[in-house]
Chains A and B, each alone.
Chain A
Amino acid sequence: MTDAAIRTEQLTKHFGRVVALEGLDLEVPRGEVFGFLGPNGAGKSTTIRLLLNLIRPTSGQAWIMGVPVGDVRAAHRHLGYVPGDVSLWPQLTGMEILTYLGRLSGRVDTAYRDELIERLRLDPSLRARSYSKGNRQKVALVAAFMTRPDLLLLDEPTAGLDPLMEAEFQALTREAAARGQTVFLSSHILDEVEDVCERVAILRDGRLIEVATLADLRSMNATVYDAAFDGPAPDLSGVPGVTSVESIPDDGIRVTVTGSPVPLLERLTRAGLTRLRSHEPSLEEIFMTYYETPTTQDAEPATRLDG
């Protein structure tokens, strides 16, 4: 039993002419808490739905705990899943839904289920139609965690939770990891994964652009410059190494550059630089450089499908 918790080989999904995911090669070893990051529409949900066999790949293959994802009876014994947008049977109470989903899964630790209900402050005697988005999310979280699955697939699971419940969720995730469960956490917000994940993958426009530990990301060779000018700020598009430019109100621009800063500095000097400060970028800033779209043409296509 040394198979990875998740393995994909050239996993690809096209919806008609729209490329939602292209040639994803990913391996998440057992016991890891893995962050899956990317802007809306990058293909995160598509990937997770492929892993769950809810949609079928255009090409490529994927395995959960060494089991091909198409063999749901075997693969789903290892799984817990929390979607970002939870739909429940409106006329059933929360407890009835948990009972049904528990029986489908086969084995439920009822003591742990009750603890989860307690910790997430869910009232399970209410019918689902009276639940807010956050409460529906809690039902899904309890349903996923209560079977103590080997692998938790979480697709933006905290979308409707308040900060207190979000903290509780992070505690639950850490406890699960401590027990040896694998957690695959998809998000478009770095904060959500920063506290719990060891490694992250970054996805953009259906393509994997980086897999790294957070420590590696932090030590990336990037620098941020705040520059002020005596005239208008220059156009820096096309300057080698520049990954992002944003304007600071009334005070010039903020430029992130990777690799050699020389071309940028030459350009800034020629543009009438009056002041220049540099600092190491925060993780957030590094992260944002991945989100910037390199070209404007292929920016939007997958957006609507991922929602």
Chain B
Amino acid sequence: MLFNSFVFALFLPAVFALYWGVFRKLRAQNLLLIAAGFLFYGWWDWRFLLLLLATSLTDYFVALAMGRSASPKRRKLLLGISLIGNLGTLGIFKYYDFFARSLAAGLAELGIAHDPFLLKVILPVGISFYTFQALSYTIDVYRGRIEAVRQADTFLAFVSFFPQLCAGPIERASHMLPQFQRARTFNTAQAVDGLRQMLWGFFKKIVIADNCSRLVDGIFNSSDTQPGPVLIIGAVLFAFQIYCDFGGYSDIAIGTAKLFGFDLMRNFAFPYFSRDIAEFWRRWHISLSSWFRDYLYIPLGGSKGGRGMAVRNTFIIFLVSGFWHGANWTFLAWGLINAIYFLPLLLSGRHRTNLGIAAEGRRWPAFGEVLAMLGTFGLTCIAWVFFRAATIGQALSYIRDMFIHLFDVGHWSRTAQYITDRATYGPAMACIGLLLLAEWLQRNRQHALEALVFTRPLRWSLYIGLVLLIVFVGDHAEQTFIYFQF
């Protein structure tokens, strides 16, 4: 089920009413959340539920056994089972065909014909998200940071919590499980803030991401014939598309969770106001970055082994992170480019320079900050080309063509014609401007509509204005979220 679908508009109030009105006891509420999560997830394909259930139950029983065992050897074995179960599932569904095809292509290069056996299975929605979330649970139990959950329904409710089931934020068991274990009381301020955050998320997704999506598809699908400036516009629009698609999803997920009394971790912190790449990665997909930090970077030794080890581990993290996104060399290249961007900051020890918000204590940024933000944004746009392109070859020729005719007047006039031929550009650009303005002014908040200081009539006018923008300017084709494929 998509957040931006008509059926979700019916589903959410129904679950909300049952949750607070009928199922008031903790256990009943958790059972309702499981049912809602399974309905939400099974709406795509009920067979996906079997996989979700199988991995969840494996982790539940493994963690229980781990909790009962004092033997380090046995605990390690059990953790191994969980890792193999989760990563094996991920490997089969997400990566097997890719490796089989790559192997066949590699052998073909050597003149050896090989017809690979392909599984050709459909990738279950959000598999990378819930397997990572479940893994965090078993690893934390193994490390003794949390205790294994005894009640299966509590654990299932945690794994299948519908707001963040398909695309995160990838929660930690240590943060979420206690919320499923204690009685929840309705908090008006939290619920109202949740609705505001959802509204902002819908604006980002339906108005900006989905409009940009059509423009970006048009450019990337014909990138070999487009003038350079159009390609630059395509890269910039994709940067906003992916931010508003995934950031919008996260806002809706976090806002929805608030309606049910849950506090999900923050996933985006206005990443395009970052002044360097290190800051960007502290603000972009925070739940995944911190997951890799906690469960991969630090276990690998982090930066404790000196600069060399820090560089090695940074590259590992970025490459794994790239590959986590999808079984394609383009994602690996995207991870590699970001690692290369990160390297100078790491080597110069400046990767933790910009820890606060830009222009702290001031309304507008200084000139130097603007340049730093634009530079960082430009670098991310180039990296996004690899993320969006179908192949590395397309990405490389796209980037070359972006700049090769930059000073050719003919290319600029073709660009002007390209834009004027497409009526969507004007509204899309205006809404991106609105997004940047609102998020800049609220950059010290959790989201753009949090704790607005206006009077109620003004606030409500703003909310109604956003709803009307969604109605009139939004793309209502119920486009799926980009990160669902991961």
Same assembly = no
